[in-house]
Amino acid sequence: MGEGRTRYGKAIKVAVLAAVVAVSASGCSVNEAIRFGWPEGVTPQALEMRQLWTILALASLVVGVIVWGMTAWTVAFHRKKGEGELPRQFQYSLPVEIVSVVLPTIIVAAIFGYTVVVQNDVDKSIPRPDVKVGVTAFQWNWKFDYPDNPTGKPISTLGTSETIPLLVLPTDRSIEFTLNSQDVIHSFFVPEFLFKRDVFPDPEKNDQDNTFVIDKIEKQGAFVGRCAELCGSYHSQMNFEVRAISPDLYQRYLQLRTQTNAITGVPNSAGEALAALNCGDLCAPQATTTYPFHTERTIRSAAERNNNG
């Protein structure tokens, strides 16, 4: 019996050592490891959702280890050892039955309560958000509008087959998004927000709350946005990019959007306004990680025929 315990002890030590080596060899920090593959969020809601995911994953692992351990213990020490000899039976053990009912109930109740708290915060509304953005999805691109902006003039950005739309947002400001679709169901998804929401046509008729709010974007940066709902032939290429810039740069950006470009004779586009800000890679005037595409099937078919000889 002593030798058996020694062997089990050694096996546990080896398993722990292997886990430590696996984490350290991969170069992961503690924060990276507990994210379990999630991107690093840039909003308070993103942090809450990542923490919820981490707690759920750890709770699942703990429950899994307990179940695996009890299964292994049963297999090792409570199996039939000889002809006609049965192991000790526990089917009428009241303490075991109570624990097996009460403990899972407590775990499920705690998980449910925490999930509701996070969900309510993610879905909350703010009476007077600092910035309002209208998001319109269509096959297979995006349009972004800035109603109620300080300039008092209409500002919008429209994606085309030649241009990836740029969604410019301020940091450290609450932002309300209002979503709508012109055709089929799409999904607004920025991985660094750790959040996505379906975009329905006629949201009132579909009984959908088509607005959501983020408290703030906590750091400047350029992020890729995607459609996360299969919406047709070019769904995989229905992308956009987010530029999160400081509030003072954002105010200058809005002013530049209303000014007439000396060359084109029309108000500056999102890319032209960003270029005029002259703030380096953060204000790159064109998409840097996604590329334009032709949505006309005839154009693509001709290109494919040429490529195939």
Is residue 243 within 8 Å of 253, Cβ to Cβ?
A: no
| Structure confidence at residue 246 (pLDDT) | 92
- 306 or 155, higher pLDDT: 155
Max distance between CA atoms of the chain, in angstroms, equals: 97
**pLDDT tens figures, 193-235:** 888 889 998 877 777 788 889 999 998 988 889 999 998 888 8
- 143 or 66, higher pLDDT: 143
CA distance 209 to 179: 9
Q: Is residue 296 predicted with pLDDT exceeding 80? A: no
**pLDDT tens figures, 173-190:** 999 999 999 989 999 999
Residue 166 has phi, psi (to 5 degrees) of -110, 120
Q: Is residue 304 predicted with pLDDT exceeding 60? A: no
- Entry pTM: 0.73
pLDDT over 90, % of the chain: 24
- Reported as a pLDDT band with limits 50, 70 and 90, residue 299 is very low
Mean pLDDT over each residue of the chain, to the nearest integer:
80
CA distance 103 to 98: 8
CA distance 129 to 215: 9
Q: Which residues contact 258 (CB under 8 A, 6 or more apart)?
A: 151, 153, 155, 267
Nearest to 44 by CA among 179, 194, 168, 211: 194
Helix, strand, coil shares of the chain as percentages rounded to 5? 45, 20, 35
